Amino acid sequence: MCTVLTMTNMRHRILACACDLYLRDGFKGFSMRKLARDVGVSAPALYRHFENREKVLIDVVGEAHDEMFRALSRALSGATPLERFEMAAEAYMDFALKHPRYFQMIHSFMQVMGMDEAPPELAHRACAIQQFWEDRVRECIDTDILRPDNTERIGLTLWAHAYGLLSLYSRGLLVIPEEDFREEFRTSHRRILFGLGKEAAGRIFGRTIHVGAEHDQAAETRQTMEPIR
Amino acid sequence: MCTVLTMTNMRHRILACACDLYLRDGFKGFSMRKLARDVGVSAPALYRHFENREKVLIDVVGEAHDEMFRALSRALSGATPLERFEMAAEAYMDFALKHPRYFQMIHSFMQVMGMDEAPPELAHRACAIQQFWEDRVRECIDTDILRPDNTERIGLTLWAHAYGLLSLYSRGLLVIPEEDFREEFRTSHRRILFGLGKEAAGRIFGRTIHVGAEHDQAAETRQTMEPIR
DNA sequence: GTCTATAATCCGATAGAC
DNA sequence: GTCTATCGGATTATAGAC
């Protein structure tokens, strides 16, 4: 009993140090020797708790995934489906910007490790993220904010966009200040949501509907006066 | 003269072998010793032409980038702006699916190499890709297929979505057959384009416009009386 | 320019004593 | 469970002969 407890604690201690080490030195700087030094034990001792270096890193990326999911989940405190959706996007962005190493690790782990397919621990977690976005879509459709459609696919469209944009920025490929990017991300996310939305969504976003507005002379005028940008 | 020519040829030969080696064995399996063996010279000879392993790989990922850009550029043979846009998306997808190692390398190189910022060679190429999408957007706006808007931002929205979706699939996170994915990608891309489009775009895509369809007085009233939550 | 030979590190992982 | 010691291998990079 006591042995098991010690084992578990030690494993957690190692994992905590491993996360710190990765966040500090990245993949390339992550070695079992350094980890042992940080934990305060010898290198071979680590192998009592983890089979090898890869298994340690799988657990680190698992932690990264879980922390991201917890951040997303906090968006569920929003009052309405739309608010929850917007808060989720904001939380996703926050996580990517505040924890770039974690965000990047989640999405480049396989390449770095030279894996051809995702280990189950990660595949399951990716499914949870996908499901999360799908749920956000479903409740927006249920409350008539989005047009009825295949929720899985719409969720995927929005997830892919959010991930793609954050990934590009996180790697420094978009040369704009962070505050400008944050606004651009929100706008881009809404742009898609808006394009998928029912008429009501437009008013909720405080914007004028343009698609199909050519049928409406008054709207035509509004569009001219209040162009989207 | 002759010396320079030999230098250049040798460098190209090494680079070609380096690309093959990476495509065969991936990042993890890429070593200078293997490369030397493939080229048919000794390991130290490589250092006459490349400063170190990282510089070789930077050139390999540069090749990957250029090949992707050439694939995209072939979409410019399309007859209309919209056709060129659709062909570009198709070409992007084709590249990602046919050359997954190249596609993944382009977007995970920095993490794998432990770089905090993109080397100029890659940053410039990323700008070219961004510009490419922006150009596709601009000509669609110019021909009244898309609503007038900031072309750079709309281009980014579409690029981010396409990249994100391809990245997720390329890593095996979406468990669907390739043919189904291809159709899903096209649909998802059009879904966004459609949401951004003028009424004409809907007809071109052979779909009915939904957004704004309720934009009549009755709908206006309904919305006021039954506020969306 | 290319070679052989080798230096100097660093790594993951294991053996065996305690 | 942890230690010391070590194996076996990888890496980048240089020195000096040809």
pLDDT tens per residue across span A6-19: 667 899 999 999 99
- Percent of the residues in chain A that have a pLDDT greater than 70, as a whole number: 83
Integer distance in angstroms from CA B16 to C1' D8?
Answer: 31
How far apart are the C-alpha atoms of A77 and A87, rounded to whole Å?
9
How far apart are the C-alpha atoms of A202 and B114, rounded to whole Å?
43
CA atoms lying within 13 Å on the CB side of residue A33: 2
Q: What is the tens place of the pLDDT at every residue in A38-52?
A: 999 999 999 999 999
Contact A28 B229 (CB under 8 A): no
Say how far residue A47 (Cα) sits from the centre of its chain: 32
More confident residue, A67 or B3: A67
How much is the average pLDDT of A145-164?
94
Worst-scoring range by mean pLDDT, A105-114, A168-177, B171-180, B217-226? B217-226
Average pLDDT, chain B: 85
Highest-pLDDT range among A36-40, A143-147, B2-6, B143-147:
A36-40
Q: Is the pLDDT of residue B218 over 70?
A: no
Amino acid B167: pLDDT = 98
Amino acid A116: pLDDT = 87
Amino acid B198: pLDDT = 65
Q: Is the pLDDT of residue B171 over 60?
A: yes
Quick one: pLDDT band at residue A198, thresholds 50, 70, 90?
low
What pairs with residue B197 in β-bridges? B146
Quick one: pLDDT band at residue A4, thresholds 50, 70, 90?
low
- Strand C within 7 A of A34 CB: yes
Please list every residue in chain A whose beta carbon sits closer than 8 Å to the beta carbon of residue B213. Answer: 199, 212
Q: Is the pLDDT of residue B47 over 50?
A: yes
H or E element that contains A211: none
Q: Is the pLDDT of residue B137 over 80?
A: yes
How far apart are the C-alpha atoms of A140 and A195, rounded to whole Å?
14
- Percent of the residues in chain B that have a pLDDT greater than 90, as a whole number: 70
Amino acid B224: pLDDT = 33
Please give the interface size between A and B, counted as residue pairs whose CB atoms are below 8 Å apart: 202
- Strand C within 7 A of A12 CB: no
**Which among A211, A67, A85, A66 is positioned nearest to A155, based on CA atoms?**
A85
**What φ, ψ does residue A146 adopt, rounded to 5°?**
-110, 155
Amino acid B215: pLDDT = 35
Q: Is the pLDDT of residue B180 over 90?
A: yes
Q: Is the pLDDT of residue A118 over 50?
A: yes
The position carrying tokens 């989720």 is A88
- Strand C within 7 A of A43 CB: yes
Q: What is the tens place of the pLDDT at every residue in A168-183?
A: 999 999 999 999 999 9
More confident residue, B211 or B204: B204
With b for 16 or more beta-carbon neighbours within 10 A and e for fewer, the A159-179 pattern comes to: bbbbbbbbbbbbbbbbeeeee
Angle A191-A94-A100 from CA coordinates, rounded to 5°:
115
Q: Is the pLDDT of residue B226 over 90?
A: no
What pairs with residue A197 in β-bridges? A146
Amino acid A218: pLDDT = 38
Among B149, B160, B212, the residue with its CB nearest the CB of A213 is B212
Amino acid B7: pLDDT = 64
More confident residue, B228 or B202: B202
Amino acid A227: pLDDT = 31
Amino acid B144: pLDDT = 87
Q: What is the tens place of the pLDDT at every residue in B61-106?
A: 999 999 999 999 999 999 999 999 999 999 999 999 999 999 999 9
How much is the average pLDDT of B108-120?
91
Joined together, the tokens standing for residue B25 give 């064995």
Tell me if chain A has a CB within 8 Å of the CB of B229: yes
Amino acid B195: pLDDT = 80
Amino acid A7: pLDDT = 67
Amino acid A46: pLDDT = 96
Q: How far is B2 from chain A (nearest CA, A)?
A: 40
**pTM (predicted TM-score):** 0.87
How far apart are the C-alpha atoms of A91 and A84, rounded to whole Å?
10
**What φ, ψ does residue B62 adopt, rounded to 5°?**
-65, -45
Amino acid B227: pLDDT = 32
Q: Which of residues 32-51 of A touch strand D (CB under 7 A)?
A: 36, 40-45, 48-49
